[in-house]
Structure 1
């Protein structure tokens, strides 16, 4: 009887640890999310030679789903532009910030193309041409990984969020 209990105890204590390297974890999403955030903030959307300073024209085009030839990203789906494998990871990319002195928290941002005051606005402002968010909505019922970068666009410090699940 004691041999049986010892074998049973061994199975419950050691087998899960042996199999752990072969189970899925959030580590892949963490690495990929950081890679995508760096790719966008230092290269694809950034000014050449100035990491974390986003090009307004290319940033608006990226979130609009277009790909002008003078921007540093290719055409295609968001997954293709970010170099993500198909069917494996979901992604959401957004710019958020607080552009008003009296506001609190970070709001979703938009690009307003209306003359003469074109530029960055909070989505609650109502004058929004391009919402600066792309990808599927982040589910609240699943674990997700978020990478954050503070960037500058249109003279404003805002936050780039890359969320994966």
Structure 2
């Protein structure tokens, strides 16, 4: 009887170690559905992109065609003026309100909205800007339009068509895009949420 004790111990330890390995291998997979994922960010990005191109910066009767007054008003820090637009014009970004307040999402959602396109026809897509001096849409790289407005988003200035926080390098960023027309040019509205 005494000879089987070592063999019994070895078999028992083997079964125990296999059970421990099994637990460490499969428990993370069992708990995975309960961990946070990008589902909420996907829904927010899609909703905000659709809202912007169908009613906030465009006339609901003519979606996906951005009107300059509402588009300029959205990307300016101050209100859009006399034009009735489909975003919260009371959210004054110069007074510390965030882009999330302007589009109606929770404060814990970080986002950036950009309108980009190829206005000069060179095949390269860049962020767009409304040049207030020439009263036309230009690419940021083709003028000084984007340089002066990054910190000064008030009325009667050039309007950089990028607004919000810089996307995170450490978190998953969800992107929603919509193809639109702005001032006769084909452009893309890009909404990034993280």
Distance 2:57 2:192 in 1: 17
Q: Is the 8 A contact 2:115 2:161 kept in 1?
A: yes
Q: Are residue 65 (structure 1) and residue 82 (structure 2) matched? A: no
Q: CA deviation at 1:60?
A: 0.4
What TM-score does the superposition give when structure 1 sets the normalisation length?
0.89
Say how many residue pairs are matched. 161
Residue in structure 1 matched with residue 44 of structure 2 by the alignment: 32
**Rg (Cα) greater in structure:** 2
**Structure 2: tracts of 5 or more residues without a match:** 1-12, 92-97, 146-157
Residue in structure 2 matched with residue 111 of structure 1 by the alignment: 130
SS in 1 for 2:64: strand
Distance 1:78 1:29 in 2: 15
What TM-score does the superposition give when structure 2 sets the normalisation length?
0.76
The CA RMSD measured in Å over matched residues stands at 1.6
Residue in structure 1 matched with residue 21 of structure 2 by the alignment: 9
Distance 2:106 2:85 in 1: 23
- CA deviation profile, 1:112-131 (whole Å, cap 9, x unmatched): 122xx412111122252111
2:137 to 112, 115, 120: 120
2:104 to 57, 79, 83: 83
Distance 1:14 1:140 in 2: 30
Residue in structure 1 matched with residue 118 of structure 2 by the alignment: 98
**Structure 1: tracts of 5 or more residues without a match:** none
